[in-house]
Amino acid sequence: MNQWRNKGKDATYTDAEIEERLQQELPQWYLEKGWIRRKYKTAGWKGTLMVINTVGHLSEAAFHHPDLTASYAFVIVKLCTHSAKGVTAKDFELAKKIEEVVMWQPGLEAHSALEGTPDDPRFKYLKYGD
């Protein structure tokens, strides 16, 4: 993982470097047409909006903005640094933060006072593990 620290924040990665780093750090993400991408499957419109709002908040806080595709039961997040015309460290860092927050399941954490979403279709909003 230290090999990635040698790149500057605006240096672009080759396709081979992107694929390797995704495999190591973000296995649910993939490279397609110059963007790193992730499809989040949701249980419906409520979940889709929650994912979009989460991604929006994190992106605005980072001042690095993805392209989003939304449908009833999924959100696709696409990251690429437009100014660098490629994938940079900024894209990987934001992807990691998005992944960490969107896929957070407090009910699985040991000794957590937070129970997590009940295993009941009425309350489901995100399809974990997909």
The answer to whether the predicted template modeling score (pTM) of the entire model surpasses 0.85 is: yes
CATH number, position 50: 3.30.1360.20
Q: How confident is the model at residue 27 (pLDDT cuts 50, 70, 90)?
A: very high
* Share above pLDDT 90 across residues of the chain, in percent, rounded to a whole number: 72
Domain contains 25 = yes
The whole domain housing 18 covers 2-103
120 within a domain of the structure (yes/no): no
Q: What is the mean pLDDT of residues 14-18?
A: 97
- The pLDDT score that the predictor gives to residue 37 is 98
Confidence of residue 123 (pLDDT cuts 50, 70, 90): confident
Once rounded to an integer, what is the mean pLDDT over residues 106-127?
83
Residue 117 lies in a domain: no
Task: For the chain, give the mean pLDDT.
Answer: 91
- pLDDT, position 5: 60
Domain count, the chain: 1
Is 17 domain-assigned?
yes
- φ, ψ for residue 27, nearest 5 deg: -65, -20
For the chain, give the number of residues.
130
- Residue 91 placed within a domain: yes
In the sheet that holds 35-41, the strands lie side by side as 30-32, 35-41, 74-79, 67-71
Is 76 within the bounds of a domain?
Answer: yes
Q: What is the mean pLDDT of residues 107-129?
A: 83
With 70 as the cut, is the pLDDT of residue 103 above it? yes
